[in-house]
Amino acid sequence: MKQITIPLLVSIALVSVVFVFFESLELYFSDLLNAAESNQTEYALLSFLVLSSDIVLPVPSSIVMYGNGLVLGLIKGALLSLFAVFISSSIGYYLGKVSNYKASSSEKATAIMQKYGALGIIITRGIPILSESIVFTAGYNRLNFRFFTLLNLIGYLPVCFIYAYFGNLAQNTNLFLISFAASLVVSLILWVFGRKLIAQFFNVHTS
């Protein structure tokens, strides 16, 4: 369990510190994107850069993904969000990996991460701080990158489309809270009803 617990706690602490000391950046990013709403190309580029840096900066990712649906529409907004957060999480994975040069790539460490971390990666994609911390932990433990990518896509697909869907519905800001709640509900459903099925599936297909 040390392969997961220690790096997870350390990464949670580091991400929390970044959020506290650079909190003003969230407002800056939001204002920057709001100013670019009239130009879809400019907005899309800025949104991609902002979301891609989410792993190292306190980016209001849920607000940005909601805005992507509002400005770019459901499909374009969701796909842009998905691509950007995939880049961000991949950066986090490799940062975690290079932070542990002496880590053993033994089958035991990989098995532990797959057993206890697979579901964690999926259900935390829409949860601030935990999503970044789990990514670092996966890289630290040298989880197979293809396996990590699959887990990311499974977890991020519903989250990105939920935010884009509600963002595309209207400019009613109250819908953002609904979309945030919906993303948490998806995580809860996966945890309550899908954890055994998901764990069994990945144990079989990664053994």
Tell me: the pLDDT tens digits for 111-122?
656 665 677 778
Question: Distance (Å, rounded) from C-alpha 133 to C-alpha 136?
Answer: 5
pLDDT at 160: 92
- Residue 151, pLDDT > 50, answer yes
**pLDDT for the residue numbered 76:** 93
Task: Provide the residue ranges of all domains of the chain, joining segments of one domain with +.
Answer: 2-205
Rounded CA-CA distance 66/49 in Å is 16
pLDDT digits (tens, 9 = 90+) for 44-90: 999 999 899 888 777 778 888 988 998 898 999 999 999 999 999 99
CA dihedral 151, 157, 159, 162 (to 10 degrees): -160
The whole-angstrom separation of Cα 67 and Cα 122 is: 23
Residue 98 burial (CB < 10 Å; 0-12/13-18/19+)?
exposed
Range in 44-48, 112-116, 154-158, 190-194 the model is least confident about = 112-116
pLDDT tens digits for 24-54? 666 666 676 777 778 888 999 999 998 998 8
Please tell me the pTM assigned to this model.
0.72
Distance from C-alpha of 64 to C-alpha of 93, rounded to nearest angstrom: 22
DSSP letters along 86-153, please? HHHHHHHHHHHHHT-TT----HHHHHHHHHHHHHHHHHTTTSTTHHHHHHHHHHHTT--HHHHHHHHH
